[in-house]
Chain A
């Protein structure tokens, strides 16, 4: 397809963008010492506004199933993939003032919240599963959870139900991973921690004093600020413990990215690389990644209009449906790219993919959510063996069951203590070893 443009300004700089050479076979071979049991990495990958389910869901269930058209890019990972049909958060499909019948599409995918449960507040969310994992396991790594997204907008929420920002700018993610730690000495780091702690102490006192002067109605934002201050204090403590260890050098041959690539696919792949880099250097074990947005355009694969338009058009028009499926497949290709990077990165005696538990899903299916027929049939699949703790290579159809069971399974395999998530009691037994 031609995407020629007459003026070349934007193409001139294209060559300047840093490419991260992956997989890590050579680079990281010595980074991860072989130990008995490597930690399980949890990844939640998410695309907005659904998928055309007729081409997503494999026909047969059990262990003997064929990849559907949309899932074809996963061919080389089939034995490490589970397709889990019929899981969703029932709460997300209750009437509420926010989602415009998009089911769990907008904000509930990782929270399973009933947004309308607090009268008068238009969208009271609750804590998302990645943050629960972060609260329990986050202190094992430098960065409790890494939240990235191809556009601005995050699907992660803290214990207050406030949005945890995600980052789409590759260079900033890179800085978070390798910024100060690679360049500062232990003394410099220690001085910095001391100074920051003292600032936070004083700001905490000021915030508390100010809160006292205000009525209940004005306090809300200050309370959030206070919570954030406390959280940063806690993180500084974690960082401090980490500072005593060897600094994490930027792996050889890897440069700081030069900004957001103009092509969406390149952007997503760069983010995949950074996620792999974060996991490979064990700076985080918990990742959320929104790799598709409802407004995304994909001119490079012949889908120049917004994805959202195709999802509406798909119901009456073959051309629109074909384009929707093209995008669905491209998104699965992005997933396959990430899986390839993970598999290419040694981790203990296995590779990162083996030791990961990846969930790939959307918050909608073919039709709109709330109250519509089959509106709650949504795509779900997992990849990775969670270090051998789960069975894979299956297509299971649960009819209609709480997606939360899967989240419970994910956290448990990673070592968290969790019995239930929102409405879901216990793990998903069917994939247990």
Chain B
């Protein structure tokens, strides 16, 4: 069986390094690129993100990657947004200024009260409205979070929540597009297991 391929969307900002190494350690062939011809051929597209929403959105639009990602989603390709990458998939963000997003996930992105930051290890739990844990997460899993903004909790796309003074979306899904607020590449065994699941699912 061929090894899966992963395309990390390169916006010219942030840390692709850890995501790349994590995927390689799981046996995937990894390409870091903003070239749509290269990204078109991979099994799983990853949109990472560090920094600010407006800055990252601008970088996406400059490279015409916003329309590329929308097209990939509409073609039911497998897409994973991590942290800011998840937020970019939303309808808009209020970070710095109101900025429209890619509108793949319902809802907007808002800051925690008093601009506090959610940093550290936290658990996630299945949305009460769902009966099936589609990502096969263990109840005792912990994941590493590092963010100040989060997706609207009432979004119908939310599959898993976490808690930081209030419930907030940890994972949201729309078709084959998954947005993860935490960093699976920095979440040790639990994160590797989830990444492995998503990579394998992209070729099944």
Tell me if chain B binds chain A: no
